[in-house]
Amino acid sequence: KAGVTQTPRYLIKTRGQQVTLSCSPISGHRSVSWYQQTPGQGLQFLFEYFSETQRNKGNFPGRFSGRQFSNSRSEMNVSTLELGDSALYLCASRSDSGAFFGQGTRLTVV
Amino acid sequence: TQLLEQSPQFLSIQEGENLTVYCNSSSVFSSLQWYRQEPGEGPVLLVTVVTGGEVKKLKRLTFQFGDARKDSSLHITAAQPGDTGLYLCAGAPGGKLIFGQGTELSVKP
């Protein structure tokens, strides 16, 4: 069974731009969660999607948004990028037995 | 304020030593999970503890869930350099999976 796939692995953007990250969960998993990981804040919950609906949301500004498609693949978008958005963005595919993470997308905003 | 507080935040030990990492909360959790993350990778699930007082073993790692289901601990016996990494506890209050700040463990040969 293939694991969670995140693309791209690395991304460099300039302030003010927008970015879209992609996540393909494990086959059969309908829940996808997104996290932002920084050295100072640790793993912060962004949002969770289940069957194309946002089920939970963290405390991030509206510049952070996401969606899920009928095949459970998910995307997250960050608009008007700020330097502080530089982080590792992780996607997790959830089942009853736990959360399974992708390798993440390392976003650097310059 | 973190819902899950982990201690210590950093731990540097010699190969062969024992160590314990703690995960505490003022809230009751139906279950807690432990993950290990290596640099440049996503966290990997190690174990889920569900019952208060439960003890689970994974080779040299022993996980315990507190009787009141508000805390958990991870004990590593005879640590090895391969145990180096970030250890995270996690719980899902209200359905969303949240994480503690993590314990950065470094085991020196």
Touching check for A104 and chain B: CB below 8 Å? yes
A55·B95 Cβ contact <8 A: yes
When CB atoms are compared, the residue of A42, A56, A97 closest to B96 is: A56
pLDDT at B33 over 70: yes
What is the predicted pLDDT for the residue at A1?
59
* pLDDT tier at A95, thresholds 50, 70, 90: confident
Chain centre to alpha carbon of residue B5 = 11
Q: Among all residues of chain A, which has the CA nearest to that of B47?
A: A98
What residues in A contact B43, CB-CB < 8 Å?
Answer: 43, 90, 99, 101
What residues in B contact A103, CB-CB < 8 Å?
Answer: 40-42
Token pair of B77 as six digits:
């016996």
Q: How far apart are CA B102 and CA B10, in angstroms?
A: 9
**How far does the CA of residue A56 sit from the closest CA of chain B (Å)?**
6
Q: What is the largest CA-CA distance in chain A?
A: 39
B33·A99 Cβ contact <8 A: yes
Chain centre to alpha carbon of residue B56 = 12
* Best CA proximity match to B68, nearest among B21, B26, B34, B20: B26
**Using alpha carbons only, what angle is made at residue A51 by residues A48 and A57, rounded to the nearest 5 degrees?**
20
**A48-90: per-residue pLDDT in tens?**
999 999 999 999 999 999 999 999 999 999 999 999 999 999 9
**B71-96: per-residue pLDDT in tens?**
999 999 999 999 999 999 999 887 78
pLDDT at B12 over 80: yes
**B96-109: per-residue pLDDT in tens?**
899 999 999 999 99
**A9-61: per-residue pLDDT in tens?**
999 999 999 999 999 999 989 999 999 999 888 899 999 999 999 999 999 99
A48·B43 Cβ contact <8 A: no
When CB atoms are compared, the residue of B44, B88, B94 closest to A43 is: B88
What residues in B contact A49, CB-CB < 8 Å?
Answer: none
What residues in A contact B41, CB-CB < 8 Å?
Answer: 103-104
